[in-house]
Amino acid sequence: MKHMALLTGFALVVAASTWASPALDEPLPLVDLDGRTDLQVVVDREPGQYLGHPTTLLLEDGQTILCVYPKGHGRGPIVYKRSTDGGRSWSERLPTPANWASSQETPTIFRVVDAAGQRRVLLFSGLYPIRSALSSDDGATWSELQPVGEWGGIVAMSSVVARNDRPGHYLAFFHDDGRAFAAGGKASSTFTLYQSLSTDGGLTWGTPRAIHRDDAVHLCEPGAVRSPDGKQLALLLRENRRVRPSHILFSDDDGETWSPPRPLPAALNGDRHVARYAADGRLFISFRDVPPRGQQSPTAGDWVGWVGSYDDLVQGRPGQYRIRFKDNHHRWDCAYPGVERLPDDTFVVTTYGHWTPGEQPYILSVRFKLTDLDKLVPGR
C-alpha cells in the first residue's frame, strides 16, 4: 500500500497552504441513535460539575474496561472508574494517587507489554512535562504521575501503538503548538506532530521527533490505526484552524518515515478520531463532527461515528454510513471517545458531552453491534 513519496528522518513539511480542500462528498446514510436510551449507559454524572474527555482500556478478559477522565474541560483531577461487565454498569469512583489531582490535561490510558511478557497499564497526562503513571496489576493499584522526560505536549499521548516484530517497542503520538514542548513555551502559528519511541514496554520514552510541521494547516490529535494486514500505519488528524478538512498520513515502514498529509473524505471531518475493527473487517471510527468553515453537516458539533473500510481511507472514499450517537447541546464541546470491541463483536463507545440542555457535560457509554446498525441504515 504505497502512497506518495515518504518523508525521511527529520524532514518536515511546512506551509501546506496550497493543499486543495476536497469537494463535499455525496451525503452518507445516517443512523441516528440519539433517542436509543436502551443502548446508553451513564458512566458518571455530577450536578454542577463538568466531567469530560474520557479514555478507556479493555483488558484481556474481554469484559473489564478501565476509564479515566478529568473533572473539568481537559484539565483537573483525574477520575477513575471500572466496568467488569463490558460497560453495562460502572463502579463508583475508585481511589487514585494524590498527585493525579494535579493533572493539567486530558488523561489517556493504554496497555503495554515488555519483551519479557510483563503487562502494564500506562496513564499519561500532558502539557509540560508529559507525565505518566504505571499499574502492574491491571489497574488495581497505581503509581503517582512522574515526568517521562524534559519535554511536553498537547493531548499526550493521543495514540500509542506497538511496533511490528519488536517486542516491547511502542510509538506514542501527540502534538504541540509551542506552548508545552519546552519549559516556558509560548503558543505559535506552527503546529508540530511528534512521535516518541519506547523500547522497554513503556517504562521510558525517547526524546520525541517531529514527523510533520505546518504553519498554515494546523494538524493535531493524531488517531492511529493499522491496516488489516498490519503492514501500514495511518494517523487521522484534526485540523485546528477549521479552515481545511481533517487529514491523514501514512507510514509503510512502522513509523520510520511518513507520507505528506492529505485530506480525508468530508464524512470524516472532525476531532479526536479513535478507530477499531469489527469482526467482519470493517472499520469503525468515533469522533466529534466539525466541518471546516464554509461546509455544512447535519450533525455538526455532535458525537458521531463512521463505518467503512481501511481501503476507503487509502482511496479517499466516503465510506458506508455514519452514526449520530448523541445530539450535543453545545455547538462543539463533546466526544473525546474511548472505543472498545468485546469478544462478541459489541462495541462500547464512551465519551462526554452536553447531553442535557442547561446542564454540565457528563460521561455516557453506548453499546451496539454493527450488524444491528446495518439494519437501520436508511434505504436498505
DSSP 115-184: TT--EEEEEEE-BSS-EEEEESSTTSS-PPPEESSS--BEEEEEEEEEPTT-TT-EEEEEEESSSSSSTT
Q: Which of 217, 208, 101 is nearest to 149 (CA)?
A: 208
pLDDT by residue, tens only, the chain of 380 residues: 434 333 333 333 333 322 333 445 668 999 999 999 999 999 999 999 999 999 999 999 999 999 999 999 989 999 999 999 999 999 999 999 999 999 999 999 999 999 999 999 999 999 999 999 999 999 999 999 999 999 999 999 999 999 999 999 999 999 999 999 999 999 999 999 999 999 999 999 999 999 999 999 999 999 999 999 999 999 999 999 999 999 999 999 999 999 999 999 999 999 999 999 999 999 999 999 999 998 889 999 999 999 999 999 999 999 999 999 999 999 999 998 899 999 999 999 999 999 999 999 999 999 999 999 999 998 77
Q: Does an H or E element contain 306, and which?
A: strand 303-308
Quote the cell numbers at residue 63: 469484559
Q: In what order do the strands lie in the sheet with 65-70?
A: 55-58, 65-70, 78-83
C-alpha span between 156 and 174 (Å, rounded): 5
- Distance set, CA 182 to CA 132, 157, 174, 215, 232 (Å): 17, 16, 14, 19, 31
Closest CA to 155 of 135, 139, 179, 136: 179
pLDDT, residue 348, reads 98
d(CA 176, CA 153): 5
b/e sequence 231-258, b meaning 16+ C-beta within 10 Å: ebbbbbbbbbeeebbbbbbbbbebbebb
Indicate the burial class of 375 (C-beta count within 10 angstroms; 0-12, 13-18, 19 or more). Answer: exposed
What strands, in cross-sheet order, belong to the sheet with 170-176?
154-162, 170-176, 191-198, 209-214
pTM reported for the whole predicted model: 0.93
Where is 373: in which H helix or E strand?
Answer: helix 370-374
In order of 41, 47, 341, 355, the CA distances from 359 in angstroms are 17, 8, 30, 8
Residue 97, helix vs strand vs coil: coil
CA distances from 372 to 227, 287, 307 (A): 25, 20, 13
Report yes or no: 114 and 168 within 8 Å, Cβ to Cβ.
Answer: yes
Give residue 26's pLDDT: 65
pLDDT at residue 86, as a whole number: 98
Residue type, 232: Q
Residues recorded for the chain: 380
Residues 283, 307: contact at Cβ < 8 Å?
yes
Q: CB burial class (10 A; 0-12, 13-18, 19+) of residue 327?
A: middle
| CA dist., res. 56 & res. 63, Å (int) | 12
Q: What is the pLDDT of residues 21-40, one digit of tens each?
A: 344 566 899 999 999 999 99
Neighbours of 309 (CB within 10 A): 16
Q: What is the DSSP code string of 198-241?
A: ESSTTSS-PPPEEEEEESSS-EEEEEEEE-TTSS-EEEEEEETT
Q: Which three three-digit cell numbers place residue 342?
A: 468485546
